Structure formats: C-alpha cells, structure tokens
Chain A
Amino acid sequence: MTPLQIAFLIALVAILVAIVAFAGVVLAAAARNVGDPTGPTALVRRLSRAPRDRLELGRWGFWAHRVSGVAIFAFLILHLFDVGLYGLSRDLYDEVHALYGTAALRVFESGLLVAILFHALNGLRLLAIDLVDVGPRTAGRLLVLAAVVTLVLGAAGSAIILGPAVGWTP
C-alpha cells in the first residue's frame, strides 16, 4: 500500500468515526429534548396512544435524515480530494481509485447508497408535504414508503456493488 492510499484510508476512517460520533450527538440531544419519562403514569399515557403513534416514526425519520445528510457531506469532502487528484495527475487518481474496488470500500459504497437513497426519497417527501397539505397520516405513510423503497433499491444496488467482491456479476 502506498502512502497516498494510506492517507486516503485514514481520512475515510476519520470520516466514519465523525459520522458515528455525530449520530451519538443527535441521539443524545434528542434524548435530552424529548425526554423519556418512566413510571406507571408515563407508561399508561404511552400505551393509551395508537401503536402507530407510539412508534414515533417521524422522529426516527428526522434523525435518519440528519445523520445521512452529514454522512454524505463528509464523504463529499473526501471525494473532492480523490477526484481532485485527477487534475494533478491521472496516475495519482488511479492509485487512490484502486481502493474503491476493494471489498471494504464496496461495503462502504453500499452504505453510501443507502444513505443517498434515504436522504433523497425522504427529502422529496419533505418537499411534497411542504407544498401539499396531505395531513399527518399520509405524511407517515410516505415516510414508510421512502424507507421501504430505500431498503429495496439499497439491497438491489448493494448486490450489484458487492457482487464482484465475492466473484459474482449480474
């Protein structure tokens, strides 16, 4: 492994650590703001709500949108550097690009695909419910739809991305 490749991998690991740390910040702040009251009264109040509301899908959607957005932006910073190498020398670009085909990076790229899909689909949902007053129930269904489409397309895309790493091509 060349020094440039090692630098790229160190930056990638730093980005992954930053993403996980940020997810921790989001969840910690959420726990602080929302609170999670315990005790019999809080439990009864909680259970008296409809199961759909108890899931708090909107909240999870909000957090997932945040974390996926930061993750994509963090990768974009690194990506601008590795593509920027092309402007310096095509050999330098190829040196780092060789890493993108490795099994570990293919796993990362699959995760990136899931993040992009969710952020894009949920973003379109947010745009739609800003422009059209569909009501909370339809907005909730659209979130489930965005999550399901993310999982289906993410799984299909990941199979295509990971395939060559295990000697399979579609």
Chain B
Amino acid sequence: MRAPESPASAPRPDRPTGPSGPERRRATGVLTWVMVRVTGLVLAVLVLGHFAVTHIVTDVADTDSAFVAERWRSAIVLGWDWLMLAAAVLHGAAGLRGIVVEYAGPRLARFLIAGLVVLAAAMLVLGTATIVAVILA
C-alpha cells in the first residue's frame, strides 16, 4: 500500500537541513491533511449538487448557453462555482502530489510537482477568468 520510502522525507543535499527542516515539513503535512479533508467535505456537497443540477434535475442536452446565462445571473451560483473550482484544484493538486511522490523517483517527482503547480495555477486562472468575464459582461 505505501511506498517503502518517501522521497519527501529523504535528505536533500541542496537544502539547508537545520532542526527547523523536519518540523516545518511536519507542520506543512498537517496543514495539507486538514486542507484535503476540508476541501473534500466542501466538494462532496458542491460537486454532487452541481452534477445533480446539470445532469439529473435538468437533462444535459438542455444545459446550453441560455441555461448557463440564467444560472450565472445569480451571485450564489457564481460563488458556488468559484468555490468549487478553488476547492477542486487545491484538493486535486494535493492528491496528485501524493501520487507523484509515491510512484515517481525523487528527480522525476520534483519535475512533475513543478508541472503540477503550473497546471493548478493555470486551471485557477482559466476558471476565474471565465467567471470574471461573466461578471463584467
């Protein structure tokens, strides 16, 4: 189930290893643990609600631009969608980081995590830009 050794806890010669190193990592680990669970709880409500509205209550063929325009006149829906985006990107990025650390070697993992940060930032920018464009239109 678990990787025999975690590259995240391996000594890093390129970084100063003072007594603050492991403690800081532990604090980050706790913060990530809390973040993944809080966003997960939020997403369980927001995503299932979003899917129910766009596929169950309304047939997906009817969720055209007129449907979107009507829904996005509501500030609550805009807030719902942005919160869902932010929570999903944070939650997904943290999950993928764990997967990368487990499956990839330390060198590849560092490269992939950098790519993951860029991807997450791009997703946040794209989604936020869409919502801002709707608000300004």
Contacts and interface: CB of A to CB of B under 8 A. Distances in A.
A80 B89 CA distance: 11
B127 interface: yes
A86 B1 contact: no
Q: How large is the interface on B (under 10, 10 to 19, 20 to 34, 35 or more residues)?
A: 35 or more
Interface stretch (B9-17, B23-31, B41-49, B106-114): B41-49
A73 B40 contact: no
A160 B1 CA distance: 37
Given A59-B1, A76-B123, A86 B65 contact: yes
Contacts of A81: 126
A80 B123 contact: yes
Given A106-B60, A123-B40, A164-B61, A113 B51 contact: yes
Interface of B: 1-4, 37, 40-41, 43-44, 47-48, 51, 55-56, 59-61, 63-65, 68-69, 85, 88-89, 92, 95-96, 99, 102-103, 119, 123, 126-127, 129-130, 133-134
Given A109-B60, A117-B48, 5 more contacts: A101-B59, A116-B51, A120-B48, A160-B56, A161-B56
